[in-house]
């Protein structure tokens, strides 16, 4: 299956691009998706992103809904947003 | 018990413009103990001193500018202006807040609050230098924009003076006119600019040389040190520092919180330009308020297009929305220019943009035509037309004279079903979150004592999932969640804190309770008021303030029917992900909320028991006497 991942701010700077389509096996999870970024960025960057996600510094939304469980399963065509925590006023 | 109030300035300055007097009275110990300061002081003074039915634009209205015992100290981000008054827009209680350096300067001059009443016979400004207070002629700056006023009045008082002023919009009693500081940190909402305009008061200019005297400086400094460390480790610190509230526009659009086209919420074309990587290219300087290391303010520079050459305070999240997403304008230069014009004319950016979006929808529907718009074509996305409308609103020119009344009164003038498109609650234009996509947050829009404001109950649980994640689309439990957030905000605003800073600190602690415990400790270390030590007491103060504000509105005749949101929010399903199909379940949410508040469910009026539990039996007595107690 294919999913679209969009990177914002700090995440975009780390990965070096604003979005990409990722190919995942059926039943793939958010964790699988983040790990698959190693084919685009270097391994230490991917580890850094994982740590930032764990610390709540980077947030994830799947189809506009916030998701914190990296074991959440994804579906074909899902749109994932990876963004640094920030707030409006 | 400490009988001396440490860290308070100890005086309240009362300015009677009718009688041309300035009187200083001691800050009462009971007022400080029961209401802490800032928003708490304003709620109490307005309850005690305004008669129901007072004309918001008459000399009988009062404006309370009040501050906190922590204002002007080294505690971070407690240096805000809180302005409370009866609103010419909503007809009810209002609290408006802004930052900058004005609040600390007033404290240094020796005042915990300034109460302004009456009406000057000619344009006037107030010049305060410590104990000296003068009412001076302002005829020469009457009619001028904010920047010109600031320059002129600094020149004739003190280059280091700070001020709160109004622009031409306030003078013309534009109901969406705001108060503006010398550095454009505006208490924007509710028509405070028109209140000062109605009093012929152009500005309050202040310079102070005193400093707050702390109860326990050693303990206080330890707590400030802790605060600085928590700020630094907070994941929100960098976000606010790098791009201010603008760092979240694009993401909130994706999460369904950020409305488009007057809440029609169809997809916004070209929304990619809202991405933070695009916006940050305009930033040339980080600016902040007194005593705040976050520095969430940004100066933007425009180098291309018809608005090139501008350097001004940036359009933050809300202004970006009001002049952008809800009008369909995605030209960033036009948005920045509109924001600057609103600041200099002294118009609330949120209500101005929302009112322009309302007019654009009326034009789209054929309810108004070029005959009524002075020949302008009010098409969605036209930045030049938007800029022209701001000028017309501020100067009450042509169609601007109608729109200057805000959406609800403008709809009454226009007729032909226009009221259906006025997106407001209690006649205050709704800001940049859609209630259908976050139910507790929306419930706060509906129940807020000041009308459709996002800051009375900014729901971090729903919007950010912080410190715990709550499903924003769920309805169950939202009465209690909304009450908790509203009471916490009322408590920390009584302490004069900035809502953004509270978010930074709570994200750092990962706990609201820890934040409130820290707040109690630092208030005690500053003031010596024993009660403040206990964070449970602060929660009580928050609920007390909230109920007192509610009682003010009840006294004015407000009931459950004013806790309302527009038909579009209640009945039209949200059209895009992730809230597709959602409507706002108003009645169910209100029943739940009133129940947890201990208010009468049928009328939404606080019960005697709840008021007495909060130490407000005198409020219950007065409401009962007026036949308004449930």
Interface test with A, best of B185, B188, B234, B235 (most A CBs within 10 A): B235
Does the complex come out with an ipTM higher than 0.85?
Answer: yes
Inter-CA distances, B275 with B39, B41, B119, B121, B154, Å: 35, 40, 47, 50, 39
The whole-angstrom separation of Cα B379 and Cα B370 is: 11
Closest CA to A33 of A64, A62, A54: A62
User: Is the per-residue pLDDT at B498 higher than 60?
Assistant: yes
pLDDT tens by residue, B119-132: 999 999 999 999 99
Inter-CA distances, B48 with B158, B538, B607, Å: 35, 22, 19
Residues in chain B closer than 8 A to A55 (CB atoms): 235
Give yes or no for a contact between A46 and A22, defined as CB atoms under 8 angstroms apart.
no
Residues in chain A closer than 8 A to B271 (CB atoms): none
Instruction: Say if the Cβ atoms of A12 and B316 lie within 8 Å.
Output: no
pLDDT tens by residue, B539-598: 999 999 999 999 999 999 999 999 999 999 999 999 999 999 999 999 999 999 999 999
pLDDT tens by residue, B384-427: 999 999 999 999 999 999 999 999 999 999 999 999 999 999 99
Interface test with A, best of B246, B251, B437 (most A CBs within 10 A): B251
Instruction: Say if the Cβ atoms of B239 and A84 lie within 8 Å.
Output: yes
Give yes or no for a contact between B553 and B547, defined as CB atoms under 8 angstroms apart.
no
Give yes or no for a contact between B288 and B295, defined as CB atoms under 8 angstroms apart.
yes
Q: How far is A24 from chain B (nearest CA, A)?
A: 23
Instruction: Say if the Cβ atoms of A88 and B238 lie within 8 Å.
Output: no
The whole-angstrom separation of Cα B519 and Cα B496 is: 11
Q: How far is B312 from chain A (nearest CA, A)?
A: 19
Q: Can you give the pLDDT at residue B466?
A: 92
Nearest residue of chain B to residue A55 (CA atoms) = B235
Residues in chain A closer than 8 A to B250 (CB atoms): 8
pLDDT tens by residue, B77-118: 999 999 999 999 999 999 999 999 999 999 999 999 999 999
Residues in chain A closer than 8 A to B509 (CB atoms): none
Q: What is the set of domains in chain B, with CATH numbers? A: 11-207 (3.60.9.10), 246-423 (1.10.569.10), 435-497+534-625 (1.10.599.10)
Instruction: Say if the Cβ atoms of B503 and A87 lie within 8 Å.
Output: yes
Residues near B594 by Cβ (< 8 Å), separated by ≥ 6?
A: B479, B560, B600, B601, B604
Residues in chain B closer than 8 A to A66 (CB atoms): 255, 465, 469
Q: Which residues pair with A65 in a beta bridge?
A: A62
Nearest residue of chain A to residue B576 (CA atoms) = A64
pLDDT tens by residue, B194-214: 999 999 999 999 999 999 999
Nearest residue of chain A to residue B237 (CA atoms) = A86
Query: Could you tell me the pLDDT band of residue B361, with boundaries at 50, 70 and 90?
Result: very high
Q: Can you give the pLDDT at residue B143?
A: 98
Closest partner residue to A88 (CB to CB) among B252, B276, B510 is B252
Query: Could you tell me the pLDDT band of residue A56, with boundaries at 50, 70 and 90?
Result: confident
Closest partner residue to B578 (CB to CB) among A63, A86, A89 is A63
Residue B627 class from Cβ within 10 Å (0-12 exposed, 13-18 middle, 19+ buried)? exposed
Percentage of residues of chain B with pLDDT beyond 90:
98
Inter-CA distances, B544 with B136, B436, B491, B616, Å: 38, 29, 9, 8
The pair phi, psi for residue B287, each rounded to 5°, is -130, 150
Residues near B278 by Cβ (< 8 Å), separated by ≥ 6?
A: B272, B332
Closest CA to B82 of B63, B61, B102, B67: B67
Burial B537-569 (b: 16+ CB within 10 A, else e): bbbbbbbbbbbbbbbbbbbbebebebbbbbebb
Residues in chain A closer than 8 A to B458 (CB atoms): 89
User: Is the per-residue pLDDT at B630 higher than 90?
Assistant: no
Q: How many residues comprise chain B? A: 630
pLDDT tens by residue, B245-268: 999 999 999 999 999 999 999 999
Centre a 10 Å sphere on the Cβ of residue B232 and count the other Cβ atoms it contains: 12
Q: How far is B578 from chain A (nearest CA, A)?
A: 5
Q: How far is B171 from chain A (nearest CA, A)?
A: 28
User: Is the per-residue pLDDT at B1 higher than 50?
Assistant: no
Question: Mean pLDDT for chain B?
Answer: 97
The pair phi, psi for residue B465, each rounded to 5°, is 65, 35
CATH 2.40.50.140 fits A2-84, yes or no: no
Residues in chain B closer than 8 A to A81 (CB atoms): 251, 254
Interface test with B, best of A49, A60, A63, A87 (most B CBs within 10 A): A87
Instruction: Say if the Cβ atoms of A64 and B466 lie within 8 Å.
Output: no
Closest CA to B540 of B487, B593, B608: B487
Q: How many helices (H) and strands (E) does chain A have?
A: 3, 5
Query: Could you tell me the pLDDT band of residue B3, with boundaries at 50, 70 and 90?
Result: low
Is the sign of the CA dihedral B206, B40, B499, B435 positive or negative? negative
């Amino acid at each position: 299956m294919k999913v679209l991942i969009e990177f914002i701010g700090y995440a975009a700077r780390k990965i070096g691009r604003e979005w990409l389509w990722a190919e995942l096996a059926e039943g793939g999870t958010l964790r699988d998706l983040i790990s698959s970024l190693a084919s685009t960025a270097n391994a230490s960057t991917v580890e850094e992103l994982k740590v930032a996600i764990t610390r709540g510094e980077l947030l994830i939304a799947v189809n506009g809904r916030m998701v914190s469980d990296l074991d959440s399963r994804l579906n074909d065509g899902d749109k994932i947003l990876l963004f640094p925590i920030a707030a409006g006023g | 018990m400490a009988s001396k109030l440490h860290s308070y300035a100890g005086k309240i300055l009362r300015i009677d413009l009718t009688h041309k007097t300035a009187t200083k009275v001691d800050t009462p110990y009971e007022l400080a103990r029961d209401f802490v300061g800032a928003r708490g002081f304003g709620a109490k003074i307005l309850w005690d001193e305004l008669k129901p039915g007072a004309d918001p634009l008459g000399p009988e209205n009062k404006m309370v500018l009040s501050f906190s015992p922590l204002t002007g100290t080294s505690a971070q981000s407690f240096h805000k202006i809180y302005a409370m008054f009866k609103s010419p827009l909503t007809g009810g209680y209002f609290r408006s807040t802004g930052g900058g350096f004005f609040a600390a300067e007033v404290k240094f001059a020796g005042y915990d609050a300034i109460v302004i009443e009456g009406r000057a016979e000619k344009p006037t400004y107030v010049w305060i230098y410590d104990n000296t207070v003068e009412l001076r002629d302002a005829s020469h700056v009457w009619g001028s924009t904010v920047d010109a006023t600031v320059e002129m009045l600094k020149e004739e008082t003190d280059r280091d003076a700070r001020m709160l002023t109004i622009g031409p919009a306030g003078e013309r009693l534009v109901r969406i006119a705001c108060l503006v500081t010398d550095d454009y940190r505006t208490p924007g909402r509710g028509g405070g600019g028109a209140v000062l305009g109605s009093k012929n008061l152009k500005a309050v200019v202040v310079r102070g040389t005193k400093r707050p005297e702390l109860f326990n400086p050693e303990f206080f400094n330890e707590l400030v040190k802790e605060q600085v460390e928590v700020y630094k480790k907070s994941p929100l610190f960098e976000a606010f520092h790098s791009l201010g509230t603008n760092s979240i526009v694009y993401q909130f659009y994706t999460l369904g919180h950020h409305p488009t086209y007057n809440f029609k919420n169809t997809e916004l074309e070209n929304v990619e330009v809202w991405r933070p990587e695009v916006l940050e290219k305009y930033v040339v300087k980080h600016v902040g308020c007194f005593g705040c290391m976050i520095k969430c303010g940004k100066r933007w520079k425009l180098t291309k297009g018809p608005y090139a050459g501008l350097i001004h305070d940036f359009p933050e999240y809300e202004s970006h929305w009001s002049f952008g997403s809800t009008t369909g304008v995605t030209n960033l230069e036009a948005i920045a220019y509109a924001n600057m014009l609103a600041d200099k004319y002294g118009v609330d950016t949120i209500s101005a943009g929302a009112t322009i979006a309302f007019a654009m929808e009326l034009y789209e529907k054929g309810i108004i035509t070029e005959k009524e718009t002075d020949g302008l074509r009010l098409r969605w996305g036209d930045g030049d037309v938007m800029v022209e409308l701001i000028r017309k609103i501020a100067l009450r020119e042509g169609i601007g004279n109608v729109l200057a009344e805000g959406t609800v009164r403008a709809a009454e003038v226009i007729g032909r079903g226009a009221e259906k498109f006025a997106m407001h609650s209690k006649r205050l234009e709704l800001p940049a979150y859609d209630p259908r996509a976050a139910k507790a947050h929306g419930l706060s829009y509906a129940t807020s004592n000041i009308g459709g404001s996002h800051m009375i109950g900014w729901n971090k649980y729903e919007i950010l999932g912080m410190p715990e994640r709550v499903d924003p689309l769920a309805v169950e439990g939202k009465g209690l969640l909304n009450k908790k957030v509203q009471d916490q905000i009322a408590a920390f605003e009584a302490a004069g804190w900035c809502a953004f800073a509270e978010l930074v600190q709570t994200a750092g602690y990962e706990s609201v309770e820890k934040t409130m415990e820290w707040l109690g400790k630092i208030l005690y270390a500053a003031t010596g008021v024993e009660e403040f030590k206990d964070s449970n007491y602060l929660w009580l103060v928050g609920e007390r303030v909230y109920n007192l504000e509610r009682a003010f509105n009840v006294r004015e005749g407000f009931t459950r029917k004013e806790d309302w949101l527009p038909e579009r929010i209640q009945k039209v399903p949200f059209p895009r992900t992730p809230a597709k199909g959602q409507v706002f379940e108003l009645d169910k949410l209100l029943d739940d909320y009133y129940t947890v508040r201990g208010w009468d469910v049928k009328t939404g009026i606080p019960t005697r028991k709840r008021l007495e539990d909060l130490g407000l039996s005198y409020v219950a007595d007065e409401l009962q006497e007026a036949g308004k107690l449930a």
